[in-house]
Structure 1
Amino acid sequence: MKATWEKIEKNLGVLEVEVEAERVTAALDKAFNKVVKKANVPGFRKGKVPRPIFESRFGVESLYQDAIDILLPEAYGEAVEQTDIFPVDRPEVDIEQFAKGQPFIFKAKVTVKPEVKLGEYKGLEVPVQKAEVTEEEMAAELARLQERHAELVVIEEGTAINGDIAVIDFDGSVDGVQFEGGQAERHSLELGSNSFIPGFEEQVVGMGTGDLKDVEVTFPDTYHAENLQGKVAVFKVKLHEIKRKQLPELDDEFAKDVSEFETLEEYSADLKAQLESRKQDELKGVRENAVVDLAAANAEVEIPESMIASEVETMVRDFDNRLRQQGMNMDMFLSFSGQTREDLQNQMKGDAEKRVRNNLVLEVIAKQENIEVSEEEVTQELADMAESFKRTPDEIRNILAANGTLNSLNDEISLRKTIEFLVSNSVEVEAPAVEAVEEAVTEEAKAE
């Protein structure tokens, strides 16, 4: 087989392929064995029609499309490998010749992975912050833990305030007619959570136990039930009970209840160490992202729209999977948010382009610096995954192989090592103080 590649513009080129006549004959044989099983010829059972009789009755040309379907994918794959190109989209194929006893000739217009011209990627200056935990952050974390371990106490006197749990009956109607989902008994509603129709919770605030009240609200124009969009509804509300969070005291007893420590001082010291460790991880991620963004910004690359579109679809699928884990799906989300799938895709397009650009640059840096992945590293990665998923490394390897994602594991390790290389070859500079940044922004605004 002969294959030639000619670039015609940017990331687009033409792959011209000529396949030997012998392989055309073999493909026609396979096509005949496939279609003869369904051929109806008087005097012959299905699957038993001799080849000469089949061709004289239907013509050898009746086998061409099936033979092309058999031969084209394998010939295209071989041509891609032979010319060492990396397609990123489906090719536009033009069949120039296909006939019995003749070579198979076709041309494919192919969009390929773009060339990357690297700029500076070593010695990049990255602002670094210290992983210090402030008193305010410690106080906020302790307050969060107080909230988590708070007890709900029934309030016998007084009225409901934001943060309370109001146990209510409600009966909603539009123009005096009840609507589906508008009724409930002894429903627990956290006031201030904004989980109900806008304006509802604010009107429950101030009610006392046993109170009855008509609550009037207007459904948003983007409400998921189209028949209620923009409609005014009246809910008859009865407040049965008010529950209020009672925060535990921050003392030694609290520390004993929520941890293995005996004193609040010991618990606070451990908590501070955890926060510092978490902050270090966060700052590590910030530095990695910053150095990759800088290296990508210094590079020159024109990204095909097809690569961005493909990445957007990957991001949409990932988002859909996360929604399903939360008990939702894409249709529900789009209905609740008042968006279309196209709206969501447009929102993701910028991040998708950045992802593609960064990955392309990292791949080229890995080649430039001869960053390779050893079998030992792959084995360790499989072992780590096996421990996380409570499976054996061989099971994880087989699952990845069956899904066709085993090679992507190598790519992930390579990208991670390349990022580590960039970080280790970057230069830490002190992050500008907040006051200095604000002053610079102010001066710039004055100049404009």
Structure 2
Amino acid sequence: MKATWEKIEKNLGVLEVEVEAERVAAALDKAFQKVVKKANVPGFRKGKVPRPIFEARFGVESLYQDAIDILLPEVYTEAVEQTDIFPVDRPEVDVEQFAKGQPFKFKAKVTVKPEVTLGNYKGLEVPVEPVEVTEEEINQELERLQQRHAELVVIDEEAAQNGDTVVIDFDGSVDGVPFEGGKAERYSLELGSGTFIPGFEEQVVGLATGDFKDVTVTFPETYHAEDLAGKEAVFKVKVHEIKRKQLPELDDEFAKDVSEFDTLAEYKEDLKKELLSRKEKDSKAAREGIVVEKASENAEVEIPQSMVQSEVQNMVRDFDNRLRSQGMNLEMFLSFSGQSIEDLQEQMKADAEKRVRNNLVLEQIAKEENIVATEEEVNKELNDMAEAYKRTPEEIRNILAANGSLGTLNEDVTLRKTIEFLLENSKEVPAEKKEEAKEESTEAAAE
């Protein structure tokens, strides 16, 4: 097989391929074995028609498209490897010649991974703020723990407040006509959560157990159900029950319940260490983000929209997986938020483009600095994953290999090493210096 690659503009080029006539013949044989099973020829059972009779009746040309479908994917993959290109989108294939006894010739217009021209990526200034934990932050964490361990207590005599959970019946209608999904019984709703249509929860605040009320709201113009978008709806609401959070006391007993410590003082000291560790990790992640952004801004690269769209799809899939882990899914989220899938994709587009750009720049830096994932580092990653998922490293390796994700694991380890390299070769400056520099720049401009 012969394959040549010619760049025609930016990230676009033409892959020209010629395949031997022998492989064409083999593909025609496979196509015949597939087609003959369905061929109806008088005097022969399906699958038993001799090849010469089949070709005499239907013509050898009837096998061409199936043969192309069989041959094209494998020779395209071989041509990509032979020419050492990295396609990022489906090719536009133009078959120039395909016939029995002749070579198979085709051209494919291919969008490839763009070239990156690196700018400065060493010695980049990264502002660093001191990492410390205040007493206020410890108290805020304790308050969050209180909320998490609070009990819902039924309130009989008081009206509903924000933060309360109300158990309600509701029956919605537009112009007196009920609509799908607008009715429920004994539904638990946390007031102030923003779960329902804007304006609904606010009108339930102040109601008491046993109260009835007609709640009038207007669906958002961007609501996912077009027949309801922008329309006014009336919900007949009945309050069955009001539940309010009862917070536990912050004392030694609380510390025993939520930790391994016997006193609140001991627990607070441990909490301080945990918060400090968390803030140090967050600080490092922030510095990594800054140095990657700066290296990316200093580079030149034109990103194909196909790569951005592909990354958007990955982000939507990851978002759906996170929702499912929380007992929700993408369809429910879109319904509650009044958005369409197109709205969500548009919101993700800017971040997707930034991710693609950053990854391309990091890949190029890794090449320039000969940064690669070692076998030891990949094995450590597999061991960590095995521990997290309660599987053996070999099982994790086999799963990734079956999904075609083993190479991605290598790439992820290499990218993390590259980010570490950038951080190690950056210049830390106090965060105050950044603000001072900004003020000096403003003053100089004014003068």
Task: Flag whether TM exceeds 0.5 (same fold).
Answer: yes
1:437 and 1:341, CA in 2 relative to 1: closer, same or farther beyond 3 A? farther
1:70 alignment partner in structure 2: 70
Conservation of the 8 A alpha-carbon contact between 1:197 and 1:217? no
Structure-to-structure mapping, 1:321-336, within 5 angstroms: 321-336=321-336
Q: Cα distance, 1:37 vs. partner?
A: 2.7
1:216 alignment partner in structure 2: 215
**Partner SS, residue 13 of structure 1:** strand
Conservation of the 8 A alpha-carbon contact between 1:203 and 1:215? no
Unaligned 5+ residue runs, structure 2?
none
Greater displacement, 42-51 / 3-12: 42-51
Aligned residues with identical type, % of pairs = 74
Q: Cα distance, 1:305 vs. partner?
A: 1.2
Q: Cα distance, 1:176 vs. partner?
A: 6.5
Conservation of the 8 A alpha-carbon contact between 2:223 and 2:339? no
Q: What does the per-residue CA deviation read over 1:115-162, in whole Å, with 9 as the maximum and x for residues that have no partner? A: 111111111111112221122212211222222233444556554433
Paired positions, count: 443
Conservation of the 8 A alpha-carbon contact between 2:119 and 2:298? yes
Q: Cα distance, 1:184 vs. partner?
A: 5.9
Greater displacement, 85-94 / 166-175: 166-175
Structure-to-structure mapping, 1:46-445, within 5 angstroms: 46-155=46-155, 157-167=157-167, 188-208=188-208, 212-221=211-220, 230-233=231-234, 235-238=236-239, 242-432=242-432
**Partner SS, residue 52 of structure 1:** helix
In 1, Cα distance between equivalents of 2:244 and 2:329: 34
Q: Cα distance, 1:272 vs. partner?
A: 0.8
Q: Cα distance, 1:358 vs. partner?
A: 0.9
**Partner SS, residue 127 of structure 2:** strand
Please tell me the residue identity of whatever aligns with 1:92: E
Greater displacement, 292-301 / 224-233: 224-233
In 2, Cα distance between equivalents of 1:400 and 1:383: 13
Q: Cα distance, 1:50 vs. partner?
A: 2.8
1:141 and 1:439, CA in 2 relative to 1: closer, same or farther beyond 3 A? farther
Q: What does the per-residue CA deviation read over 1:387-446, in whole Å, with 9 as the maximum and x for residues that have no partner? A: 1111111111111111111111111111111111111111111113898699689x69x9
Greater displacement, 120-129 / 155-164: 155-164
Q: Does residue 42 of the first structure (1) align with residue 42 of the second (2)?
A: yes
Conservation of the 8 A alpha-carbon contact between 2:378 and 2:410? yes
Conservation of the 8 A alpha-carbon contact between 2:224 and 2:339? no
Conservation of the 8 A alpha-carbon contact between 2:95 and 2:106? yes
Please tell me the residue identity of whatever aligns with 1:385: M
In 1, Cα distance between equivalents of 2:64 and 2:169: 72
Please tell me the residue identity of whatever aligns with 1:265: A
Conservation of the 8 A alpha-carbon contact between 1:316 and 1:345? yes
Unaligned 5+ residue runs, structure 1?
none
In 1, Cα distance between equivalents of 2:170 and 2:24: 75
What TM-score do the two structures reach when normalised by structure 1? 0.88
In 1, Cα distance between equivalents of 2:193 and 2:93: 57
**Partner SS, residue 108 of structure 2:** strand
In 1, Cα distance between equivalents of 2:26 and 2:188: 72
Q: Cα distance, 1:170 vs. partner?
A: 5.6
In 1, Cα distance between equivalents of 2:92 and 2:175: 58
In 2, Cα distance between equivalents of 1:434 and 1:119: 22
Q: Cα distance, 1:193 vs. partner?
A: 3.2
In 2, Cα distance between equivalents of 1:165 and 1:434: 46
**Partner SS, residue 432 of structure 2:** coil
Please tell me the residue identity of whatever aligns with 1:217: T
1:216 and 1:155, CA in 2 relative to 1: closer, same or farther beyond 3 A? closer
Q: Cα distance, 1:86 vs. partner?
A: 1.0
In 2, Cα distance between equivalents of 1:38 and 1:278: 65
1:30 alignment partner in structure 2: 30
1:167 and 1:58, CA in 2 relative to 1: closer, same or farther beyond 3 A? closer
Conservation of the 8 A alpha-carbon contact between 2:168 and 2:237? no
In 1, Cα distance between equivalents of 2:260 and 2:32: 76
In 1, Cα distance between equivalents of 2:306 and 2:131: 41
1:120 and 1:156, CA in 2 relative to 1: closer, same or farther beyond 3 A? same
In 2, Cα distance between equivalents of 1:246 and 1:255: 17
In 2, Cα distance between equivalents of 1:159 and 1:62: 78
Q: What does the per-residue CA deviation read over 1:60-98, in whole Å, with 9 as the maximum and x for residues that have no partner? A: 222222222222222211111111111111111111122
1:388 and 1:74, CA in 2 relative to 1: closer, same or farther beyond 3 A? same
Conservation of the 8 A alpha-carbon contact between 2:172 and 2:233? no
In 1, Cα distance between equivalents of 2:192 and 2:128: 38
Q: What does the per-residue CA deviation read over 1:323-342, in whole Å, with 9 as the maximum and x for residues that have no partner? A: 33333333333333222222
Greater displacement, 120-129 / 178-187: 178-187
Greater displacement, 392-401 / 166-175: 166-175
In 2, Cα distance between equivalents of 1:140 and 1:124: 35
1:7 alignment partner in structure 2: 7
Q: Cα distance, 1:381 vs. partner?
A: 1.5
Q: Cα distance, 1:168 vs. partner?
A: 5.2
**Partner SS, residue 95 of structure 1:** strand
In 1, Cα distance between equivalents of 2:285 and 2:340: 32
